[in-house]
Structure 1
Amino acid sequence: MTVALVVLVVLFLFMFIGVPIAISLILASISGFLASIYYIPLEVVPQRLITSVDSFPLLAIPFFMLTGEFMMSGSMGRRIAAFAFASVGWVKSGLAQVSTLTSMFFAGISGSGAADTAAVGKMMIPMMEQKGYDKGFAAATVASAGTIAVVIPPSIPMIVYGVTAGVSIGSLFTAGIVPGILIGLSIMLLNYWLTKKNNYSEEATKFEFATFKKTFFEGILALILPLFIIFGIRGGIFTPTEAGAAAAAYAFIINKFVYKDMQWKDVPEAFIKAGKMTAMVVFIIAAANLFGWLLTAEQIPHQLVQLVSGFSDNRYLVLLMFTVIFFIAGCFLNASAAITILTPLLLPIAIAAGIDPIFFGLIMVVNLSIGLITPPVGLDLFVVKGIADVSYDKIIKSVIPFIIVMVVDLLIITFFPAISMFWV
């Protein structure tokens, strides 16, 4: 355990002084090599960094990133937002509901919480401010809804877990559908209560079936993309990586040749943006894999299994322990890094307690999705802070009710597994 203590102290020290998470993980791993009683040559560092990302399923990440960029380069994103307006924009203070429903639609395409939050936030936060919504509330609503993107498939954290744990990514995607919808509906109910409580001035309009029908048919080619991805994977038509490539090609063709509103000059920019986001995610995965390899080499997972087994083998107590660990980890670590580090450590404990690896992955991802809106490193909070131009303290205060609701959703999903696993 001496090595584990050394690497954890070094890791949190570097994170505390502002060193990027990937660099912190690499430096902490090197400190563990030096502290180990075994000789571990430093040549292991580049070897593990390279081999850890030498994986075909991980190719799905850049493809889904590219799909999201293509979607926003044309009018697919605007058409989805228009349909969301027609669906729920007619209720009192409906803009808050529109932002959540739009995020749910976007979640079925991008797979990235930050990308989803940025895309929806740029559209919805200025509109909500113009209608008299509090800036903090508008930012908190969009940030919270952005967390759904890592639960509803295609989810990049689920891809990372599937690769790390060696389980079916398609089954993970299927398990995430109902929990994602549950979280989205819970946020919408909270929005309704908060807007009524704070008496926001936006007036309700009448539901217009003609507008609903018009926006549905105008946006149907964008709206069916998530179904195209899910049923393609579950039907065995293509793998998750092939689904990502097919989705990117589909988004490009629809925007360029059907809607005809994406320019050729937009294509290189989309590739560059997707490449930058992919590089960030993959670098974190590689560094976290090195960190996890060190802990495994020091037999930390085996020691943890023995420790927890001696404490309790009750399935529900083990699930509750996982929930606490994941929630704390989500406050400090990027989801991909947390999954890569914690999966080798905790999955053996889950299996020993009789927990399905798919279900274990689901509750890990749902839990870490809350980390996108919890301080001190909630990524979605920093995204909306820049868009809304509001203080970090105000966003944190406004986001607390959303965190509470999502924790309740998490407990429901955790202790009633049939909700998500009945059709996996």
Structure 2
Amino acid sequence: MVLAILFVFLVHLFLGVPLFISLLLSSFVGFLFIDMGLAVRIMPQQFFSGIDSFALLAIPLFVLGGNLLNASGLTPKLMAFSKSLVGHYKGGLGYVNVTSSVFFAGVNGSAVADTTALGTILVPAMEKEGYSKGFAAGLTAGSSLIGPIIPPSIFMIIYSSLTNVSVGDLFLAGIIPGLILSVIFMLMNWVYAHKHDLKVNEEGFSIRNVLVTGYQALPALFAPLLIVFSIVFGIVTPTESGALIVIYSIIVGLTIGTLNWILLKKAIIESMKLTSAIFIIIAASSILTWVLGYAEVPKDFAKLLTPFIDNITLVLFILSGITFFVGMLMEEVSALVLLTPIFAPIALVAGVDPIHLGIIITMNITIALITPPMGACLYVASAVSKIPLMTMFREILPFIFFALIVLTIVILFPSIVLFLPEIFN
């Protein structure tokens, strides 16, 4: 049955059938092996129950909050602040690219949105500074991985809804891995800048400029702090935090930003399109998850891992490898919804901390965003930088390699992930 489901899914995937339809048809094939009478009752029930979650309501709210902050004209202010901090070094725009991704992570948490916003502005500017267009696009796509790892993160919200792990703990756990990733990409930029002897920004460093740009960017910088600390200290639930950030974004945008009713309407429509796509994938994935559970696929998979169950590190590497491979071929939300219910019980038996597992899964499916052949950020970076897709595939390889190095470090040293949650608990 599993092979039949996999075959049908892959055929539809390569034919370009919309993902949620591929998931529904694959589930239908599964019911052919179980009981078609069940399909009539189970498919509608699971389709609805998969998204009937108060926790998932946080997703459209966080997406809308990020879109409203972007519509308020705060994106250039974040980039200006980044430039005032690190733009004076050799290869300064590369550092600005990575630093801006860190700041953007707290605003929208979307790697694709990060690639689009930064790539449009920074790739041409970096090319003028002496960067090759390929490296500039690769750095933009690579640093966009920071977005879903540093809070807020849509992937972490979905993982939390599937495992009942605290969203606040997951948000805290993602901060240090995200910062490590940013340091690695900055080191890559440092090597490139010195190897190609890029020029130094003549404007130099100015404390006054840092203070001025920092003050202008303060409303956007305050948003992630409002999200994380309101959840961590138990003031609001994640969903309520999402509503809070929407209200905050509207107030900031209408008072000191460029938000108007036209941009507000556009932000709402864009948020509806994105979240409706996410929710319909979650709903369709929930049906396939039920089919696999009914067929006891998780139990069979757990039996395969029984010989390694006493070795936590080996179990994590196996689960990580499977997640990465599936993420390369599937849309990331689907991969997350399908694999988490299977992996979480196995990891629990092996003694893996569920927060640690959540960050590992999040990092894997995030890295898959820049991994051929299905990485969404690769296609966006190729489009905004106007370079051939195959060239983009080649340029991104070093960034994938070093991102996997960071993932390996996170697997080997759980304290990197658990340090902040333990402090605040």
With the shorter chain as reference, the TM-score category is over 0.9
Question: Matched residues in 1 for 2:308 and 2:259: separation?
Answer: 59
Q: 1:373 aligns with which of 360, 370, 373?
A: 370
2:339 paired residue number: 342
Q: Superposition pairs for residues 97-108 of structure 1, below 5 Å?
A: 97-108=95-106
Aligned to 2:155: 157
- What's 1:58 paired with? 56
CA RMSD of superposed structures (Å): 1.5
AA at the equivalent of 1:377: M
- Could you say what secondary structure the match of 2:351 adopts? coil
| Contact 2:153 2:171 (C-alpha < 8 Å) held by counterparts | yes
Q: Tell which deviates more after alignment, 282-291 or 404-413.
A: 282-291
Asked whether the equivalents of residues 99 and 141 of structure 1 are also in contact (C-alpha less than 8 Å), the reply is yes
Q: Is the 8 A contact 2:104 2:147 kept in 1?
A: yes
SS in 1 for 2:205: coil
Structure 2 partner of 1:169: 167
2:74–2:257 CA contact under 8 A, matched in 1: no
Matched, 1:215 2:213: yes
> Could you tell me which residue of structure 1 aligns to residue 307 of structure 2?
310
| 1:151-201 superposed Cα distances (whole Å, 9 cap, x missing partner) | 111100000100111221111111111111111111111111123223445
Q: Given that residues 151 and 366 in structure 1 are in contact (C-alpha distance below 8 angstroms), is that contact kept between their aligned partners in structure 2?
A: yes
The one-letter amino acid paired with 1:422 is: F
Taking the aligned partners of 1:119 and 1:224, their CA distance within structure 2 comes to 20
Aligned equivalent of 1:403: 400
SS of alignment partner, residue 106 of structure 2: helix
| Aligned counterpart, 1:124 | 122
Distance 2:120 2:303 in 1: 49
Helix, strand or coil: the match of 2:38? Answer: coil
Q: CA separation in 1, counterparts of 2:353 and 2:127?
A: 45
* Deviation at residue 203 of structure 1 after TM alignment: 4.5
Q: CA–CA distance in 2 between the matches of 1:80 and 1:292? A: 40
Deviations 1:121-175, CA, capped at 9 Å, x for gaps: 2221222233332221111111111111111111000001001112211111111
Contact 2:46 2:287 in 1 (8 A): yes
Aligned match for 2:290, one of 293, 298, 311: 293
Which of 162, 184, 187 does residue 186 from structure 1 map onto?
Answer: 184
Residue 204 of structure 1 and its aligned partner are, at CA, apart by: 5.8
Secondary structure, aligned partner of 2:39 = coil
The one of 72, 81, 94 equivalent to 1:96 is 94
Q: Which amino acid is the alignment partner of residue 266 of structure 1? A: L
After superposition, give the CA deviation of every residue in 1:26-51 in whole Å (9 maximum; x if it has no partner): 11111111123685223422221111
Question: Could you report, residue by residue, the CA deviation over 1:358-414 in whole angstroms, capped at 9, with x for unpaired residues?
Answer: 111111101111001001110111111111111011111111111111010000011
Evaluate the alpha carbon distance shift between residue 35 and residue 382 of structure 1 in structure 2; reply closer, same or farther with a 3 A threshold: same
Tell me how far apart the structure 2 counterparts of residues 304 and 175 of structure 1 sit (CA, whole Å).
28
SS of match in other structure, 1:42: helix
Amino acid at match of 1:86: S
Equivalent residue, structure 1, for 2:79 = 81
State the secondary structure of the residue aligned to 1:215: helix
CA distance in 2, matches of 1:334, 1:169: 22
What letter matches 1:85 in structure 2?
Answer: K
Counterpart amino acid of residue 44 in structure 2: P
Query: Residues of 2 paired with 1:99 and 1:196: CA distance?
Result: 17
Query: Is the 8 Å Cα contact of residues 371 and 400 (structure 2) preserved in structure 1?
Result: yes
- Normalised to the residue count of structure 1, the TM-score between the two structures is 0.96
In 2: Cα distance, 1:126 partner to 1:291 partner: 43
State, as a whole percentage, how many aligned pairs show the same letter: 37
Q: In 1, are the aligned partners of 2:78 and 2:217 still within 8 Å (CA)? A: yes
Query: Which moves more between the two structures, 18-27 or 192-201?
Result: 192-201
CA distance in 2, matches of 1:392, 1:198: 24
Alignment-derived partner of residue 250 in structure 1? 248
After TM superposition, the structure 1 = structure 2 runs for residues 214-293 of structure 1, keeping only pairs within 5 Å, are 214-257=212-255, 259-293=256-290
The answer (yes or no) to whether the contact 2:109–2:151 under 8 Å persists in 1 is yes
Measure the CA separation in 2 of the matches of 1:130 and 1:69: 29
The amino acid that maps onto 1:282 is F
Aligned match of 1:18: 16
Using the TM superposition, name which of 152-161 and 314-323 deviates more: 314-323
Q: Which amino acid is 1:83 matched to?
A: F
Deviations 1:279-333 (A, max 9, x none): 1111111111111111001111111112211354311111111121111112112
* Contact in 2 for aligned 1:375/1:396 (Cα 8 Å): yes
Distance 1:286 1:41 in 2: 15
Match for residue 413 of structure 1 among 410, 415, 419: 410
1:4 Cα deviation (Å)? 1.1
Which has the larger displacement, 184-193 or 16-25? Answer: 16-25
Q: Secondary structure at the match of 1:110?
A: coil
Q: Distance in 2 between matches of 1:60 and 1:326?
A: 24
Give every structure 1 segment of 4 or more consecutive aligned residues whose post-TM-superposition deviation is greater than 3 Å.
Answer: 198-205
1:110 aligns with 2:108: yes
User: 2:303 & 2:139 partners in 1: Cα distance?
Assistant: 42
The equivalent of 1:393 in structure 2 is: 390
Mean Cα displacement is larger for which, 81-90 or 326-335?
Answer: 326-335
Q: Distance in 2 between matches of 1:201 and 1:422?
A: 39
Matches of 1:22 and 1:146 in 2, distance apart? 25
Please report how far the alpha carbon of residue 8 of structure 1 lies from its aligned counterpart in structure 2 after TM superposition. Answer: 0.9
Shift of 1:260: 4.0
